[in-house]
């Protein structure tokens, strides 16, 4: 096996990086592939909570890097999905505890053993981002259909291009079809027109995401939910399948067309 290292990034905080990382990992693992998630948000770890593995942490990323344990010992196996592992971040340290080269070494060590390595990147463009980017084969940029999130996504894509990493794929998270329909929210097309990168998924706003995250049961575990389906679709696209996008953009019909024409500041 030769793993693909996918770094999930966004620039702006709170757009759903960690939720996306967790659900992508779950969806890939449910398709029978071996997945390791690495939480690179040292000092502000969350991925363990979303995955519901918080109470099983013994060793973390910094312990591996500083040689206090072997890599294997820090990999927490998910009991629901035996193909899913988590390497949690340290909570008592900060980003400077790990260097980009440490991350490259770590990823290289894992590469032969798994299919996917998903790295959850911290918000910001500082050291933590550099760490998460260093080993990436692919960068997934998560954004919301909001001007500020899109602006930061643009910055991140620029930085990824400058480092000659990539390819970059885009996930638009928390799309509210009703709001798009009313013209109160950027539509996927508006976001794509600006960012000009390949779209790999649109996640609809779904209350199940919050509920499931609080319970430590990622929404992708239940593919019947709309968000769950969206994450499974992304996993299939990552595996090279052609999956049509869910119809969410609300531009169908006369009303949608009208609101788009009337919307101020529209093109």
Site of interaction with other proteins (CB under 8 A): 99-102, 104-105, 108, 130, 134-135, 151-152, 154-155, 157-159, 161-164, 194, 196, 267
DSSP-derived letter for residue 42 is T
Is 26 within 8 Å of 231 (Cβ atoms)?
yes
Q: Which is nearer to other proteins, 7 or 46 (CB)?
A: 7
Q: Which is nearer to other proteins, 145 or 204 (CB)?
A: 145
Bridge partner list, 202 = 172
- Residue with token string 């996930």: 171
> Nearest Cα to 190, choosing from 246, 225, 150, 141?
150
CB of 83 to other proteins, least distance (A): 27
CB of 125 to other proteins, least distance (A): 8
Q: Which is nearer to other proteins, 83 or 102 (CB)?
A: 102
Q: At what angle do helices 226-238 and 207-215 cross, to 10 degrees?
A: 80
Bridge partner list, 255 = none
Is 217 within 8 Å of 237 (Cβ atoms)?
no
Rounded to a whole number, what is the distance in angstroms from the first to the last CA of the chain?
47
CB of 74 to other proteins, least distance (A): 20
CB of 104 to other proteins, least distance (A): 5
Q: Which is nearer to other proteins, 11 or 52 (CB)?
A: 11
Q: How far apart are CA 137 and CA 28, in angstroms?
A: 17
CB of 168 to other proteins, least distance (A): 11
Q: Which is nearer to other proteins, 52 or 183 (CB)?
A: 183
Q: How far apart are CA 159 and CA 168, in angstroms?
A: 11
Q: Which is nearer to other proteins, 150 or 203 (CB)?
A: 150
CB of 138 to other proteins, least distance (A): 15
């Amino acid at each position: 096996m030769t793993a693909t290292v996918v770094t999930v990034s966004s620039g702006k905080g709170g757009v759903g990086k960690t939720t996306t990382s967790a659900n992508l990992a779950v969806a890939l693992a449910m398709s029978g592939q071996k997945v390791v998630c690495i939480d690179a948000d040292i000092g502000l770890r969350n991925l363990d909570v979303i995955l519901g593995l918080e109470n099983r942490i013994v060793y973390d990323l910094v312990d591996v890097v500083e040689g206090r344990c072997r890599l294997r010992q820090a990999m927490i196996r998910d009991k629901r999905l035996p193909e899913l592992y988590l390497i949690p971040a340290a909570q008592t340290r900060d980003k400077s505890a790990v260097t980009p080269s440490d991350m490259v070494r770590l990823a290289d060590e894992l590469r032969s053993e798994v299919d996917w390595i998903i790295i959850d990147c911290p918000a910001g463009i500082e050291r933590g981002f550099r760490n998460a980017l260093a080993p990436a084969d692919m960068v997934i940029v998560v954004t919301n259909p909001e001007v500020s999130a899109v602006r930061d996504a643009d910055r991140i894509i620029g930085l990824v291009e400058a480092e000659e990493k990539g390819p970059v794929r885009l996930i638009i998270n928390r799309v509210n079809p009703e709001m798009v329909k009313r013209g109160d929210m950027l539509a996927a097309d508006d976001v794509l027109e600006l960012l000009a990168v390949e779209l790999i998924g649109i996640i609809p706003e779904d209350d199940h995401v919050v509920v499931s995250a609080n319970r430590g049961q990622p929404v992708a575990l239940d593919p019947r939910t709309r968000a769950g389906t969206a994450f499974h679709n992304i996993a299939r696209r990552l595996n090279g399948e052609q999956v049509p996008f869910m119809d969410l953009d609300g531009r169908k019909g006369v009303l949608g067309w009208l609101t788009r024409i009337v919307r101020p500041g529209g093109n």
